[in-house]
Amino acid sequence: MTRVAVLMGGLSAEREVSLSSGKACAGALRQAGFDVNEIDVKSDIQALAVALSPKPEVAFNALHGRFGEDGCIQGLLELMGIPYTHSGVLASALAMDKAAARAAFQAVGIQVPDGQVAALEDAHDVYPAPYVVKPVAEGSSVGVIIVPEGGNHPPMGQDWGFGAEALVERYVPGRELTVAVMNGRPLGALEIHSEAEFYDYDAKYAPGGSRHIQPKDIPAEVLSASESAAVEAHNALGCRGVTRADFRWDDSKPGTDGLYLLEVNTQPGMTETSLVPEIAENAGIDFPALVTLMVGDARCGP
């Protein structure tokens, strides 16, 4: 029986979501027949090393956000020689750094919203409203602020809490699409409907925060383009295993002109409200089968 350590919790703003992801994945792994050890990752690295001894055959990384999704924990697992799920050190670090990820996407011709990194004191002078202010290195829409046309600039400074710089992007109106990729192939897409202005943290994780529907009235060329762009982005970052690419589609523009890639999530949520398990289910892969495939893809290195 394969021994799997599920890493969850962590130190980021997404700790509670990670605990939910980890519990769900651990349950599915047990259902699939694995010997599972759940590890709540905290700041004591020595304690984590002890918890990982004797070494499991695979570490299932259910951490989200900084220190769990940005290459840090991946580096530790590399040093310990423990194969792990999801992307490696470099791809994880690139994807978490929104500016670096944008550059990688643009280098292969993927359309992203106009944007640039600016000092906090200059962030509100980059574009006229509507615009979006994002932390440069956070996940799950943590800290994202949308300033609507005619709206007041949000407070920053000490109220910001995400560093001295921010990524400022032009706001893209339209519809939210997301595409799951596994081992370089698209699993499928969903459209996200939410009462919020965009697919924010609450919409992602609160029960009833959003509705996920199979996109039936979206042109086939747009869906095909989103799946192709998701795979291209996955490969541009050097990802492996499962990723999820999020898009905005401005349907007022012709064809695929209004399709913009927002980000790639190297460790997408795996909670009961999460998108990747739902996309996999639509593709005929139930949750235990999905985590089994992810364990099978675990390794050290890129």
Catalytic residues: 14, 140, 205, 244, 246, 263, 265, 269
Are 74 and 88 within 8 A, CB to CB? yes
Phi and psi (nearest 5°) for 36?
-115, 135
Query: What gap in Å lies between CA 194 and CA 196, rounded to an integer?
Result: 5
Cβ-based burial of 164 (10 A; exposed 0-12, middle 13-18, buried ≥19): exposed
Query: What gap in Å lies between CA 27 and CA 288, rounded to an integer?
Result: 8
Tell me the DSSP string of 12-36.
STTHHHHHHHHHHHHHHHHHTT-EE
What tokens were used for 35?
């010997």
Q: Where are the beta strands (DSSP E) in 136-220?
A: 145-147, 165-170, 175-182, 185-193, 211-213
SS3 content of the chain, % helix, strand, coil (to 5): 35, 25, 40
Strands 242-249, 175-182: pairing is antiparallel
